[in-house]
Amino acid sequence: MAPAQQDTAVHTGRIARTFIYVVLLVFALFYLLPFFVMLVNSLKPLSEITDGNMMALPRAWTLEPWRQAWSSAQIGVQPTGLKPYFVNSLLMVVPAVAITTVLGALNGYVLTKWTFPGHRIIFGLLLFTCFIPFQIVLIPMATVLGKLGLAGSIPGLILVHCVYGIGFSTLYYRNYYAAFPTELVRAAMIDGAGFFRIFFRIMLPVSGPITVVSVIWLFTNIWNDFLFGASFGGQSQPMTVALNNLVQSSTGVKEYNVHFAGAILAALPTLVVYIVAGRYFVRGLMAGSVKG
Amino acid sequence: MAQAAREPDFRTRLQEWIPKLVLSPSVAAMVVFVYGFIAFTVYLSFSDSRMLPSYDLVGFGNYAKLWGLSAWWTAIVNLGIFASLYIVTCTAIGLVLAIFLDQKIRGEGMLRPIYLYPMALSFIVTGTAWKWIMDPGIGIENSMHLWGWTSFEFDWIKDRNMAIYTVVIAAVWQTSGFVMAMFLAGLRGIDNEILKAAQIDGASSWSLYRRIVIPLLRPAFLSAFVILAHLAVKSYDLIVALTGGGPGRATELPATFMYSYTFTRNSMGIGAASAVIMLMTIAAIMTPYLYAELKEKT
């Protein structure tokens, strides 16, 4: 997104401008409503939700739903709260993002600066993997993870997320490096610099912006994944699967306040990443991959 | 001397191999885990697999059975309704918000993140929030009643004929801000001189946008369509969290159909066939787009 405001040539009258502001604000309310509902109701005792108004602020503020969601709510059959699953998600997402980003950067570097016949086909095939419906790989993946002894484990989930994340990281780095002057790389080669030396000394120092994009994208996708976690999580289910189990559990009273606190807990890491670095993400994404 | 002459030779050859060596793990992973697995699933879709993969071929039997199942037809019809409404609504909202935000709006820096943050959330979180907001017992309907509008009714999520529209609402909430960002980037990329020239020629704002700006946004429209269409076909988590496919089968989509037939109903052959159809649908949308993108860029 261009940081500078563009001088739009359209002149708008007073009534039109008021209308524009009203529409923009109504949509802002529409986008904020679910978060408001989640936050407000996670701070209420359950009786205020079942007998009261969902849109109202709490009368008796309480952090009890948060404590329950974190450490004592019934997930499946165990009253563990979401804490162990939050840890599972972290243990899964950090290595997966690191591995995928490093491989993507190297792939992007090879596919732009060390090209060979057929590099375009390889990139095309990699790119297509970003968009496949994962249903097409579920059955063989279950079989293979079982054979490798990785079914239901964190390393298994890391493997799955790396395999299906490489397409995206390669896409980002490839498009970014394609814009980097190849003459500089040629000059370094003539000076006798090798593959890795050029990568670490020339490419890596300029890779900050696209690394932000790649890391945010992969972190969000992998943290938010549900299909793979539900299919291959086994004993190491990630946060999304645990949250769904908490909300869909059919036994006992529906503790809406605990559900909302759990939902915010599940959303927190990606929201924090988005709030801290979202601006760079959108800017980098628009510059790198979407032509407008 | 002789050594000095031979060493660069070896190094040059090594240098030629390093890039390919670096690329090879990714390529190997892709060949096995993506294209190999696709081939495997295609094979299973022609086999009599039930609870476990089986290698006895039955020709097009699974496909014939699949298209004879009313549950599959429900999923396909639902996908048609969901995808078309989702794509059209997201595009319309995204375009309007982008054009409005582009009018030198005070507070743009505040509004943009508010429109965009839903995209950072998991569909499970979105589904949970909207599930209870649209629940007639505790959600909006209840709130309206408490505020005095006692005839207000909003129980779509419990209504077989309307439940699919609640999925559209939640999905549009999640992605329309992202579409807005794509259009906004497109708008900011348009050369101002064109707009000024048109205005000097006496074009009104309306015709300026209709005749000049929107046609110039064609690439953004195309990207938005491709991204939304493939997201629609892949929709799974949102259904699981929001409606669980219900009430009854009213919100089943191909993705949920595939999962239940493969893993809970012991009809892996039929499940594989449905996955192949999902893949072909997405390939039909993506391949021409990716082909054009790659050709243009290199």
Q: What is the mean pLDDT of chain B?
A: 88
Asked if A101 and A208 sit in the same domain, the reply is yes
Asked if A46 and A161 sit in the same domain, the reply is no
Asked if A183 and A282 sit in the same domain, the reply is yes
pLDDT tens for residues A90-119? Answer: 999 999 999 999 999 999 999 999 988 888
Q: How far is CA B214 from CA B101, B120, B183, B211, in A?
A: 15, 28, 10, 7
Asked if A113 and A33 sit in the same domain, the reply is no
Looking at beta carbons, which residues of chain A come within 8 Å of B287? Answer: 128
Q: Which residue of A has its CA nearest to B200?
A: A9
CA pair distance B21, B28, nearest whole angstrom: 11
**A244 in contact with B at a CB cutoff of 8 Å?**
yes
A222-226, A250-254, B246-250: range with highest mean pLDDT: A222-226
Query: What is the pLDDT averaged over residues A16-25?
Result: 92
Percent pLDDT > 90 in chain A is 54
- For residue A78, give the 3-state DSSP assignment: strand
Asked if A198 and A143 sit in the same domain, the reply is yes
Q: Which residue of A has its CA nearest to B176?
A: A31
Report yes or no on A8 lying in a domain. Answer: no
**A128 in contact with B at a CB cutoff of 8 Å?**
yes
Query: What is the pLDDT averaged over residues A152-161?
Result: 93
Report yes or no on A46 lying in a domain. Answer: yes
Q: Is the pLDDT of residue A239 over 90?
A: yes
Report yes or no on A77 lying in a domain. Answer: no
CA pair distance A228, A249, nearest whole angstrom: 20
* Buried/exposed code over A20-42 (b: 16+ C-beta within 10 A; e: otherwise): bbeebeebbebbebbbebbebbb
Asked if A266 and A185 sit in the same domain, the reply is yes
Asked if A95 and A56 sit in the same domain, the reply is no
Give the nearest partner residue to B219 out of A17, A128, A292, using CB atoms.
A292
Q: Look at B115 and A27 and tell me if their CB atoms are within 8 Å.
A: yes
**A256 in contact with B at a CB cutoff of 8 Å?**
yes
- Give A263→chain B minimum CA distance, Å: 5
**DSSP sequence for B19-53:** HHHHHHHHHHHIIIIIIIHHHHHHHHHTB--SSS-
- Substitution target in A25, A130, A136 with the highest count of B β-carbons within 10 Å is A136
**B212 in contact with A at a CB cutoff of 8 Å?**
no
Per-window interface: B 254-273 vs A, CB < 8 A? 254-255, 258-259, 262-263, 268, 271-272
B1 vs B162, residue with greater confidence: B162
Report yes or no on A224 lying in a domain. Answer: yes
Give the nearest partner residue to B142 out of A54, A170, A292, using CB atoms.
A54
Percent pLDDT > 70 in chain A is 92
Q: What ipTM, to 2 d.p.?
A: 0.87
Report yes or no on A249 lying in a domain. Answer: yes
Asked if A38 and A130 sit in the same domain, the reply is no
Q: Quote the number of domains for chain A.
A: 2
pLDDT tens for residues B197-243? Answer: 887 887 777 888 888 888 888 888 988 998 899 899 999 999 999 99
- Give A44→chain B minimum CA distance, Å: 14
CA pair distance A236, A229, nearest whole angstrom: 8
**Beta-carbon neighbour count of residue B227 at 10 Å?**
19
Report yes or no on A210 lying in a domain. Answer: yes
CATH of the domain at A266: 1.10.3720.10
Asked if A135 and A279 sit in the same domain, the reply is yes
Cβ-contact A92, A223 below 8 angstroms = no
**A249 in contact with B at a CB cutoff of 8 Å?**
no
pLDDT tens for residues A36-49? Answer: 999 999 999 988 88
- Give B237→chain A minimum CA distance, Å: 6
Looking at beta carbons, which residues of chain B come within 8 Å of A288? Answer: none
Report yes or no on A74 lying in a domain. Answer: no
**B60 in contact with A at a CB cutoff of 8 Å?**
no
**B95 in contact with A at a CB cutoff of 8 Å?**
no
What residues have CB less than 8 Å from A190, skipping those under 6 apart? none
Asked if A143 and A253 sit in the same domain, the reply is yes
A252 vs B18, residue with greater confidence: B18
pLDDT tens for residues B46-66? Answer: 988 888 888 888 888 899 999
Q: Is the pLDDT of residue A3 over 60?
A: no
Q: Look at B103 and A273 and tell me if their CB atoms are within 8 Å.
A: no
Asked if A25 and A159 sit in the same domain, the reply is no
Q: Look at B122 and A223 and tell me if their CB atoms are within 8 Å.
A: yes
**B144 in contact with A at a CB cutoff of 8 Å?**
no
CA pair distance A53, B147, nearest whole angstrom: 9
**A200 in contact with B at a CB cutoff of 8 Å?**
no
- Residue B228 DSSP class: H
Looking at beta carbons, which residues of chain A come within 8 Å of B208? Answer: 9-10
Map out the domains of chain B with their CATH numbers.
70-297 (1.10.3720.10)
The reported pLDDT for the residue numbered A116 is: 87
Asked if A163 and A199 sit in the same domain, the reply is yes
* Buried/exposed code over A123-151 (b: 16+ C-beta within 10 A; e: otherwise): beebbbbbbbbbbbbbbbbbbbbeeeebb
Q: Look at A31 and B26 and tell me if their CB atoms are within 8 Å.
A: no
A-B contacts (CB, under 8 Å): 300
pLDDT band per the 50, 70, 90 thresholds, residue A291? very low
By residue range, what is the domain housing residue A38? 14-65
pLDDT band per the 50, 70, 90 thresholds, residue A27? very high
CA pair distance B22, B13, nearest whole angstrom: 15
Report yes or no on A164 lying in a domain. Answer: yes
The reported pLDDT for the residue numbered A235 is: 85
**A122 in contact with B at a CB cutoff of 8 Å?**
yes
